[in-house]
Amino acid sequence: MKEVLERLGNAIIEGDTEQAEQAAVDAVAAGIPPLVAIEDGANKGMQVVGDRFARFEAFLPELMLAGEAMNAAIRVLLKALPADQAATAQRGKVVIATVSGDVHDIGKNIVAALLTANGFEVFDLGINVDLKQIMRKAKEERADIIALSTLLTTSLPFQEDVVKYLVDAGLRDHFYVIVGGGPVGRDWAGQIGADGYGRTAVHAVELCKRLTEAGRPPLAQPIVLDYKG
């Protein structure tokens, strides 16, 4: 059991998707409870990568490869769980995108990787993503959170468009909406009716953790996490 869990964790540390998936299959075959494999194998490996990233000993490519390996293992392990346990094995589902008119993705990629490292199932739609694509994916995956990024002031209105669409379509109570990026701030988050704003990638992860424990959207006031607290 220990050997299989170590192999699972090491595959994630090395960013080896194929080996991580195989280790997860072997864990199930060995009779290791899937939740144990997630907690003592997959999560421990991802935590090592996250800690290295925080100490500047690993960088975005390593973080993203580890996240992909983590997702491959988690998919196998979740299939082995009863439906009621599978629903609670992950913190929640996040659809993340850089909105229309913006092709910047470094910050978004870091947030997506850190969310994966912290147990979220992340669906990264990429850059320059329009409203229809975002909503289609959020509905399809029954996401808990829609995360919207932009580094351009000219693209800020597209964040607001998502919130307006949810209100107009009667879906505002289906999804939390969080916003981030260079020109985004606490005032903007409140103005457009978002549920939260995080200044950094670490803030974004903490924000998502709080929202998944907050009950049903929307919030009366957004949760704001920045250098001021």
pLDDT digits over 95-126, tens only? Answer: 999 999 999 988 898 898 888 777 788 999 99
Q: Which residue among 100, 124, 155, 195 is the active-site one?
A: 155
Q: Does domain 91-225 have CATH number 3.40.50.280?
A: yes
User: What is d(CA 25, CA 59) in angstroms, rounded to the nearest whole number?
Assistant: 28
pTM: 0.74
Active site residue 102: yes
- Confidence (pLDDT) at 90: 67
Q: Between residues 50 and 76, which one has the greater pLDDT?
A: 76
DSSP letter at 154 equals: G
Active site residue 155: yes
- Fold topology of 2-87: 1.10.1240
Closest CA relative to residue 109, chosen from 129, 90, 124: 124
Report residue 193: phi and psi, to 5°.
80, 25
User: What is d(CA 216, CA 207) in angstroms, rounded to the nearest whole number?
Assistant: 15
Give the length of the chain.
229
pLDDT reading at 146 higher than 90: yes
Q: Which residue among 104, 105, 161, 174 is the active-site one?
A: 104
- Confidence (pLDDT) at 224: 94
- Confidence (pLDDT) at 46: 85
Q: Which residue among 102, 124, 144, 195 is the active-site one?
A: 102
- Confidence (pLDDT) at 145: 98
Place of tokens 């008119």: 101
pLDDT reading at 151 higher than 90: yes
* Residue-wise pLDDT tens digits, 3-14: 999 999 999 999
Q: What are the sequence ranges of the domains in the chain? A: 2-87, 91-225
